[in-house]
Amino acid sequence: MAKAIKKQALGRGLSALLKDPENDINSASDKNADKVVGNIIELDLDLIEVNPFQPRSHFNEEALHELATSIKELGVIQPITVRKVEFNKYQLVSGERRFRASKLLGLETIPAYIRIANDQESLEMALVENIQRQDLDPIEIALSYQRLIDEIQLTQEKLSERVGKKRSTITNYMRLLKLDPIIQTGIRDGFVSMGHGRALVNIDKKSDQIDLYEKIVEGNLSVRETEKAVKSYQESGTLTQPKAKKSSKLPVFASEGLENLKDHLKAKVAVTASEKGKGKITISFDTEEEFNRLKKMMTGA
């Protein structure tokens, strides 16, 4: 406990140093820069602006409130990262969820690492750190990779080194951007998976992509069934109706319960059941964050 109090007091002392206009720090060579850069500082939330380069565009409100509850009980365990843009003004590099959750709680300060970086360095840091440490959806990841290549002029080989991913993995994500925007939205909203998208991208004609996408959603087709439909299209040049899995009509208790489960869990749920009451419930999730949310709802831990 004493160690934590000492660390917090140190952070506040450095915060006071930053508010002294006579000691304004703008580069790593400035006086007292070594005391600030790389250290954890208690920074006023109202001095921080959101990073315009942030690749994440969707913030789940329920998850933010859960994070706020955690912060209320335990504090901000992992500091955010900011860059100094001018005297007493900072911009987020990473940690926007922690920043938003802290503001929800009405906190005045947040622990932060301070960096001195130009816009290009800030963009690269934001994109790389978010890819590595946040649960972005597949399209957001693909867009982040594309921005690193276009705006930072990284080759796929250099990009692979920076984010610690195989070149083939990066290529698979970026190919999703060749899909029609309707399908990209479907992936982001969880109607189809990245596996479905990887199959659909092999169809060049966008109208045929969308036709098959609609059949996938309507028939709840698996990735394997989608791949077979795409292969058939490539061989014949025409899109045929893929065969969906045979499904027996659900008993009333199961069909009504299914809708209740979907509404309660806010997740994709599938149910198979017999009239005698025997069956199976399958709950799908796309990210570790979503899995943890579902686990907490069902177990309370």
241: in domain: no
Same domain, 8 and 91: yes
Residues 21 and 102 in one domain: yes
- Same domain, yes or no: 98 and 9: yes
Write out the two tokens for 104. Answer: 């929800």
The verdict on residue 227 lying in a domain is yes
Asked if residue 246 is part of any domain, the answer here is no
pLDDT greater than 80 at residue 215: yes
CA distance 131 to 135: 8
Whether residues 13 and 66 share a domain: the answer is yes
| 96 assigned to active site | yes
Residue 126 lies in a domain: no
Is there a single domain that holds both residue 223 and residue 293? no
Q: Are residues 230 and 257 in the same domain?
A: no
Domain of residue 231 covers 193-236
Say yes or no: 228 and 291 in one domain.
Answer: no
Residues 6 and 113 in one domain: yes
Query: 245: helix, coil or strand?
Result: coil
Q: What is the pLDDT of residue 55?
A: 58
Residue 269 in any domain: the answer is yes
Beta strands (DSSP E) in 63-188 are: 80-86, 89-94, 109-115
Q: How far apart are the first and last CA of the chain?
A: 25
Enumerate the β-bridge partners of residue 271. Answer: 281
For 111-144, write each residue's pLDDT tens digit.
Answer: 988 877 665 666 677 777 767 655 678 998 888 8
pTM score above 0.75: no
| Whether residue 12 is found in the same domain as residue 38 | yes
pLDDT for 179 beyond 60: yes
Same domain, yes or no: 106 and 12: yes
> What CATH number did the domain enclosing 55 receive?
3.90.1530.10
For 289-300, the pLDDT digits (tens) are: 778 888 888 887
CA angle 295, 297, 298 (to 5 degrees): 65
285 lies in the same domain as 197: no
Residue 182 located in a structural domain: no
Domain check: are 230 and 267 in the same one?
no
Mean pLDDT: which of 4-8, 54-58, 204-208 is highest?
A: 204-208
Alpha-carbon distances, residue 193 vs 185, 266, 287 (angstroms): 11, 17, 11
What total of structural domains would you count in the chain?
4
Instruction: Tokens 């590099």: give the residue.
Output: 93
Set 42, 96, 124, 227: catalytic member: 96
Is there a domain that residue 99 lies in?
A: yes
The predicted model gives 259-267 an average pLDDT of 79
Kindly state whether residue 273 falls inside one of the protein's structural domains: yes
